[in-house]
Amino acid sequence: MMAPDISRFLLAVLFSASCRVIIASDQICIEKEANKTYNCENFGLSEIPDTLPNTTESLEFSFNFLPAIQNRTFSRLINLTFLDLTRCQISWIHEDTFQGHRQLSTLVLTGNPLIFMAETSLNGPKSLKHLFLIQTGISDLKFIPVHNLENLESLYLGNNHISSMKLPKAFPTRNLQVLDFQNNAIHYFSREDVRSLGQATHLSLNFNSNDIKAIEPGAFGSTVFQSLNFGGTFNLSVIFDGLQNSTTQSLWLGTFEDMYDQDVSSDMLRGLCEVSVESLNLQKHHFSDFSSTTFRCFTRLQELDLTATHLSELPSGIEGMNSLKKLVLNANNFDQLCQVNAASFPSLTHLSIKGNMKKLQLGVGCLEKLGNLRKLDLSHSDIEASDCCNLPLRNLSHLQSLNLSYNEPLGLQHQAFKECPQLELLDLAFTRLRVNPPQSPFQNLLFLQVLNLSHCFLDTSNQQLLAGLPVLRHLNLRGNPFRDGTIPKTNLFQTVGSLEVLILSSCALLSIDQQAFHSLRNISHVDLSHNSLTGDSMASLRHLKGIYLNVAANNIRIIPPRLLPILSQQSTINLSHNPLDCTCSNIHFLTWFKENLHRFEGPEDTLCTNPPSLRGVKLSDVQLSCGITALGIFFLIVFLFLFTVLLIFAVKYLLRWKYQHI
C-alpha cells in the first residue's frame, strides 16, 4: 500500500507546476467581429471612444449620452453601415451629421427626444434603407428631412404624436416597402392622404392602435398592398368602408386584451366582400352573432386566423370555403375536435388548434374530410388519450407534420400513426408517452425525418422503440433518463442508422459503451450536454469524423491522451461548464486544447476547476510548464543515489549469500 503513495508523492514533487494566467486587457466596448462590429451599449459614453477602429461598420451605441450630434461626432467612422443610437438623449441633430456616411443603410434613433433635425442632417447617407424614429416625439412628418433618401425602404414612426399619414410632397416613396405608424393619433384618413403614397406599391402599412374613427369611403382605392394592419380599431365597418376595392395580401384586424371593444357582428364583416384579401386576422375579438353568415364574405380567403376569439364551436352549414388553405384556431374553448366542423374547409393544408383553453377530446375521425391536410398543430391543448392516434387521425393520409407537444399522457400502441404514412415531422416533446415494450409505435413511418421525443418519460431500454424509421435524420431524446445511467452496447439506436442529429442532453448519463453508437455512420451532430459523463465516454465516438459535439456541463475533468485523436477528428466541440483539471496530470489535453482552439465553441466558458488557484481561469489562458524543477532534480538525484546504494548493497548481500552456500 505504501508504494503507490510514495510514487505519487515523488511525481508531485518532480512535476511541481508553475502556472501563469494571461488575461487580456479590458477594452471599452465589446468586439463582436474584429474591426467591424462593436457593441458600446450602456457604457455611459458621451463621445465615440478612440479605441473603436476607423474600420467599424456596425455599431450598437444605445443607452449612452449624446445630447447633440454633429458632423464631428461620427466623422471618423466613415464606413458605418448600421448605427443604433437608441435612447442616447439626442435632442439636436445638426447640419451634415452624416455627411461622409455614404454606406450607412440602417439608422436607429428610437427613444430620443428630438427637438431639431437639420435639413441637411441626412444628406450624406444616400443608401439609407431603414430609418427608425420610434418614440421621438414627432407630431408632423415635415419634421423629417427626407428629400435625399431615394433608397428608403422602411420608415418606423411608432409611438409618436402623428395625426395624419399624409406624406410631404418631396417624400421619396419609390422604394418604400414598410411604413409603420403604430400607436400614433391618426383618427381619420382621406383619399388624399393615401394618394400621397405615390408610386409605392406592395407596401406594408401599420396603423395598429391608432383609434381610427373614420375613413373616407374607398380612400385606399384600387391600390395593391402587401399588408395592412388596423389592429385595435373599435368599429370594423369603418375599415372596410375605407378599403373598398383595394387589394391586400394580408389584413390584420385583431384587437388586444386590455381594449374595451365592440363585439363584431356579421353585418360589420359584410364590407369584406368589397375588399380583396388573402389572409385575414381577427384575433381576440368577440363575435356577437357567430354563425354561418359570419363566414359569408370569407369565401375568397386563403388564410384565416381566429386566435383567442372565445369560440367553443364553429357553426355547421358554412359554405363556399373552398379556397381556405390555412386555419388558425389557437387559444379557443373547444371541448372536442369535431366542434371545429372541419368538413366545411375541405381544402385545408394547415390547421392549428394549439393552446386550447379546455381539455381537448380528440374524438374519432373529426378531421377525416381533410384529406389534403399537410400540417396539424395540437400542442398545449391538454389532450389525453389512452390509445392515440389512429382513430383521431383517420384519413389524414397526406399529413406531413404533426405537433402533439405539451399535452397530457398519451398511450401509443403498435403502429400508432399508421393513418399518416407520409409523416415527415412528429413533435411529441413534453408529452408523457405510454409505450408497451417491445412495441414500436412509429413503425412504418417511411418518410419520418424529424422526431422530437424530448421529456417524454420514455423507457429508453426498449430496443424496438425506434424500429421502422428508415430515413430518420433528427432525433431529440433530451430529458429521457437511461437505465443505470448508461447507454449499453445493444440499444435503441441500432435500428436508426440514418440519424444525422442526435440530442441526448439531460439524460442522466454517467457512461456510454464504446460500441453504443456503432451503427450511426451518418451522424453529424451529437449533443450530450448536461449529463454526468467523464472523458472516457468519448471513446464511443471513435468511428465518427467531422461532427459537431456538445459535451458541455458534464463531469469531464481529464481527457487522457489516447482519446485526443478522437477529438481531433471532429469539427466543433463544446466543452464548456465542465470541472476541468488544469494540473500537469492533464497537460497533454491542455496543450492540445490550445493548438486546437478553433475547434471549440464557447472557450470563454471553458474554465479550470482544479487546482483551486486556477479555478475560473479560462483554459486558453493557462500556461503550465510541467518540466522538472530544480527541487525536482535534487530529489531525483537523491532518489537515484539512494536507489544505487541500495542496489549495490543488495547485490553484495546476494553474492555473499551465494558464496556462503557453495
Ligand X SMILES: *[C@@H]1O[C@H](CO)[C@@H](O)[C@H](O)[C@H]1NC(C)=O
248: left (phi over 0), alpha (psi -120 to 50) or beta: beta
- By CB under 6 A, which span of 177-185, 239-247, 283-291, 645-653 interacts with ligand X? 239-247
Judged by beta carbon, residue 419 or residue 581, the one nearer ligand X is: 419
| Lookup: cell for 610 | 482544479
Smallest distance, Å, CB 77 to ligand X? 8
Looking at 172, 218, 488, 560, which residue binds ligand X (CB under 6 A)? Answer: 218
Looking at 24, 34, 630, 662, which residue binds ligand X (CB under 6 A)? Answer: 34
Looking at 91, 498, 514, 534, which residue binds ligand X (CB under 6 A)? Answer: 498
Looking at 339, 511, 574, 586, which residue binds ligand X (CB under 6 A)? Answer: 574
H-helix or E-strand containing 609?
strand 608-610
Interface with ligand X, residue 518, by CB under 6 A: no
Beta strands in 230-313 (DSSP E): 247-252, 276-281, 303-305
Judged by beta carbon, residue 112 or residue 576, the one nearer ligand X is: 576
C-alpha 536/C-alpha 514 separation (Å) is 9
Q: What is the footprint of ligand X within residues 327-386 (CB under 6 A)?
A: 354, 368-369, 371, 379-380
Number of residues that bind ligand X (CB under 6 A): 47
Smallest distance, Å, CB 189 to ligand X? 12
Judged by beta carbon, residue 295 or residue 430, the one nearer ligand X is: 430
Interface with ligand X, residue 51, by CB under 6 A: no
- By CB under 6 A, which span of 457-465, 550-558, 561-569, 622-630 interacts with ligand X? 550-558
C-alpha 255/C-alpha 281 separation (Å) is 10
Smallest distance, Å, CB 36 to ligand X? 8
Q: Is residue 231 helix, strand or coil?
A: coil
| Lookup: cell for 163 | 395625426
Dihedral over Cα of 284, 285, 289, 294: its sign = negative
C-alpha 231/C-alpha 233 separation (Å) is 6
Q: What is the footprint of ligand X within residues 447-476 (CB under 6 A)?
A: 450, 452, 474, 476
C-alpha 297/C-alpha 275 separation (Å) is 9
| Lookup: cell for 77 | 467612422
Q: How far is CA 592 from CA 36, 91, 113, 528, 576, in A?
A: 30, 54, 54, 22, 16
Looking at 58, 71, 302, 462, which residue binds ligand X (CB under 6 A)? Answer: 71
> Letter for the amino acid at 623?
Q
Smallest distance, Å, CB 324 to ligand X? 15
Judged by beta carbon, residue 188 or residue 639, the one nearer ligand X is: 188
27, 29, 31, 36: CA torsion to nearest 10: -120
- By CB under 6 A, which span of 10-18, 72-80, 458-466, 559-567 interacts with ligand X? 72-80
Looking at 511, 550, 554, 570, which residue binds ligand X (CB under 6 A)? Answer: 550
Pairing of strands 580-581, 608-610: parallel
366, 371, 375, 381: CA torsion to nearest 10: 0
Smallest distance, Å, CB 497 to ligand X? 4
Judged by beta carbon, residue 354 or residue 599, the one nearer ligand X is: 354
Looking at 145, 217, 315, 411, which residue binds ligand X (CB under 6 A)? Answer: 217
| Side-chain-facing half-sphere of 454: CA atoms under 13 Å | 17
Looking at 552, 573, 590, 614, which residue binds ligand X (CB under 6 A)? Answer: 552
Q: What is the footprint of ligand X within residues 376-435 (CB under 6 A)?
A: 379-380, 395, 403, 405-406, 425, 427, 429
Residue 641, class by beta-carbon neighbours within 10 Å (0-12 exposed, 13-18 middle, 19+ buried)?
exposed
Q: What is the footprint of ligand X within residues 594-633 (CB under 6 A)?
A: 601-602
Looking at 35, 316, 490, 571, which residue binds ligand X (CB under 6 A)? Answer: 35
Smallest distance, Å, CB 259 to ligand X? 15
C-alpha 365/C-alpha 7 separation (Å) is 75
- By CB under 6 A, which span of 238-246, 290-298, 384-392, 648-656 interacts with ligand X? 238-246
Backbone angles phi, psi at 105, to 5 degrees: -115, -25
Contact 98, 72 (CB under 8 A): no
Write the DSSP assignment of 494-544 as a string of letters: GG-TT--EEE-TTS--SEE-TTTTTT--S--EEE--SS---GGGGGGGTT-
Judged by beta carbon, residue 67 or residue 561, the one nearer ligand X is: 67
Binding marks (x or -) toward ligand X, 176..205, rule CB under 6 A? ------------------------------
Judged by beta carbon, residue 158 or residue 468, the one nearer ligand X is: 468
Q: How far is CA 119 from CA 72, 77, 93, 99, 407, in A?
A: 17, 22, 10, 12, 59
Residue of this chain nearest to ligand X (CB atom): 371
Smallest distance, Å, CB 89 to ligand X? 22
Interface with ligand X, residue 152, by CB under 6 A: no
Looking at 37, 41, 68, 76, which residue binds ligand X (CB under 6 A)? Answer: 76
Q: What is the contact surface with ligand X in residues (CB under 6 A)?
A: 34-35, 54-55, 71, 75-76, 78-79, 99, 217-218, 235, 237-238, 241, 244-245, 262, 354, 368-369, 371, 379-380, 395, 403, 405-406, 425, 427, 429, 450, 452, 474, 476, 497-498, 522, 529, 550, 552-553, 574, 576, 601-602
